[in-house]
Amino acid sequence: MELRDRAAIVTGGAGGLGAATVRHLVAAGMGVVIFDRALDAAEVLAKELGAKAVAVGGDVNDDDDVGAAVRAAQELGTLSLVVNVAGGGVHAGRTVDRTGAPHPKDAFVSTMAMNAIGTFNVTRLACAAMSTNEPTADGERGIVVNTASIAGLEGQTGQVAYAAAKAAILGMTLPMARDMAPIGIRVCAIAPGTMGTPLLMSAPDSITKPLVESVVFPKRMGKPSEFALLVESIATNPYLNGENIRLDAALRFPPK
Residues identified as active-site: 162
Nearest to 32, CA basis, from 9, 49, 51, 58: 9
Q: Which stretches within the chain are classed as H helix?
A: 16-27, 39-49, 63-76, 105-112, 118-130, 151-154, 160-180, 198-201, 205-211, 224-236
Q: CA separation (Å) from 32 to 58, 73, 96, 127? A: 15, 7, 43, 16
Whole-angstrom distance, CA of residue 248 vs CA of residue 101 = 34
